[in-house]
């Protein structure tokens, strides 16, 4: 089976993480996220220092450092699903110079649906398992199926915070979507429906 180099784009709540896991399992690919790449290479020396220096200080890791770390992770992978990078136009232009992508897919979900998904999320305070008040309820309300812990709404899942996250996304990352649209390589896939339905659409894109 051919290796696939897939970039998955979409706003918070679009289901990128869920679909990336399914794609990596289906096609035996590496799931590469900025956060994982930085954590796994905290001590990697770059011209601008190590990622760990910024992370330990609670600071944003500068683009040049993120770029080096992500490209190093891509070079080690035979095939990959890239999720959460590039986050801005400079990163997108850097990525275009460094690697060829087979598929650039944008998961399209209406804003109100994103708000409903994100504000309905509940997380186990003990083990971190995720649930949803509509789509993925626990067997007993407010109690984690996995460990019996209490389910809470995280601070960044309240409606005001969610709408602000979506605004920041539009400001920073929508230019990335436009960049790939202008290049004629962007494929838009509806992110509405069940995870199975969305995955079926993604599989059609990857295999055709």
**Digit-coded pLDDT (tens) for 54-111:** 988 888 899 999 999 999 899 889 899 999 899 999 999 999 999 999 999 999 999 9
Q: Is residue 208 very low, low, confident or very high in pLDDT (cuts 50, 70, 90)?
A: confident
Averaged pLDDT for residues 111-137? 91
pLDDT recorded at residue 103: 96
Q: List active site positions.
A: 16, 87, 121, 154, 165
Q: Give yes or no for residue 41 having a pLDDT over 90.
A: no
Whole-angstrom distance, CA of residue 50 vs CA of residue 123: 32
Two tokens, residue 35: 């956060």
For residue 154, report the phi and psi dihedrals to the nearest 5 degrees: -70, 155
- pTM, two decimals, is 0.85
pLDDT recorded at residue 1: 43
Whole-angstrom distance, CA of residue 26 vs CA of residue 18: 13
First-residue to last-residue Cα distance in the chain: 13
Averaged pLDDT for residues 167-180? 92
Whole-angstrom distance, CA of residue 67 vs CA of residue 63: 6
Averaged pLDDT for residues 152-157? 90
Per the CB < 8 A criterion, the answer to whether 192 and 110 are in contact is: yes
Q: In residues, how long is the chain?
A: 208
Considering the chain, what is the average pLDDT of its residues?
A: 92
Averaged pLDDT for residues 23-31? 95
Whole-angstrom distance, CA of residue 168 vs CA of residue 185: 24
């Amino acid at each position: 089976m051919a290796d696939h180099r897939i970039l998955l784009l979409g706003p918070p709540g679009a289901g990128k993480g869920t679909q990336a896991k399914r794609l990596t399992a289906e096609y035996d690919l590496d799931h590469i996220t900025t956060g994982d790449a930085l954590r796994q290479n905290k001590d990697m020396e770059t011209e601008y220092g190590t990622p760990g220096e910024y992370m330990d200080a609670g600071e944003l890791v500068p683009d040049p450092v993120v770029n080096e770390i992500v490209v190093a992770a891509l070079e080690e992978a035979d095939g990959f699903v890239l999720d959460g990078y590039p986050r801005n136009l400079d990163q997108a232009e850097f990525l275009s110079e460094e690697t060829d992508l087979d598929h650039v897919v944008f998961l399209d979900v209406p804003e109100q649906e994103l708000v409903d998904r994100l504000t309905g999320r509940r997380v186990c305070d003990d083990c971190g398992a995720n649930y949803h008040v509509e789509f993925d309820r626990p067997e007993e309300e407010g109690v984690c199926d996995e460990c019996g812990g209490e389910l809470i709404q995280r601070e960044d899942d309240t409606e005001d915070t969610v709408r602000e996250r979506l605004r920041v996304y539009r400001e920073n990352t929508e230019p990335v979507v436009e960049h790939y649209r202008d290049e004629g390589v962007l494929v838009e896939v509806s992110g509405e429906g069940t995870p199975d339905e969305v995955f079926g659409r993604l599989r059609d894109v990857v295999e055709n």
